[in-house]
């Protein structure tokens, strides 16, 4: 069976992305090389951000699974992260949060244009 997975995200400005993921999101750096930066989550998973021209994804590129969306949002908002509001078929947020079938979700956009989600299941 396949084991852990990681999100791989492009960054037009790697230094800007590094500052965002360490200062705003609060992740620590696993390793850094000319190929990119690996950031570690508390559960030993992570994301890898690599230098690349800006892309235009209109979907969630990575999701952090959390035990309490509201608590995580308070912490991230305290660091300056802005959450998106959606009102479209199949997705409506109130104060940045959607709830459907027992799952709560929220989304923000990183400095590189990647849509990042939080999910409480």
For residue range 12-44, list pLDDT tens digits in order. Answer: 999 999 999 999 999 999 999 999 999 999 888
Residue 11 inside a domain? The answer is yes
| DSSP H stretches of helix in 53-105 | 69-78
SS (H, E, C) 7-37: EEEEECCHHHHHHHHHHHCCCEEEEEECCEE
- For residue 66, the enclosing domain spans 7-120
Residue 1 inside a domain? The answer is no
Q: How many domains does the chain have?
A: 1
pLDDT score, position 42: 85
Model confidence over 61-75: pLDDT tens digits?
999 999 999 999 999
Determine contact, residues 22/29, Cβ cutoff 8 Å.
yes
CATH number of the domain where residue 27 is located: 3.10.180.10
Q: Considering the chain, what percentage of its residues have pLDDT values greater than 90?
A: 86
Residue 35 inside a domain? The answer is yes
pLDDT score, position 84: 97
């Amino acid at each position: 069976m396949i084991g852990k997975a990681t999100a791989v995200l492009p960054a037009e400005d790697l230094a800007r992305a590094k500052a965002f993921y360490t200062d705003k999101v609060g992740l620590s750096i696993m390793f850094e090389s000319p190929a990119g930066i690996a950031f570690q989550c508390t559960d030993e998973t992570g994301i890898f951000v690599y230098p690349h021209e800006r892309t235009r994804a209109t979907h969630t590129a990575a999701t952090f699974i959390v035990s309490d969306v509201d608590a995580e949002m308070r912490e991230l908002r305290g660091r300056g992260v802005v959450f998106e509001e959606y009102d479209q078929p199949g997705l409506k947020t109130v104060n940045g949060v959607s709830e459907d079938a027992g799952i709560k979700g929220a989304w923000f956009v990183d400095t590189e244009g990647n849509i990042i989600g939080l999910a409480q299941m």
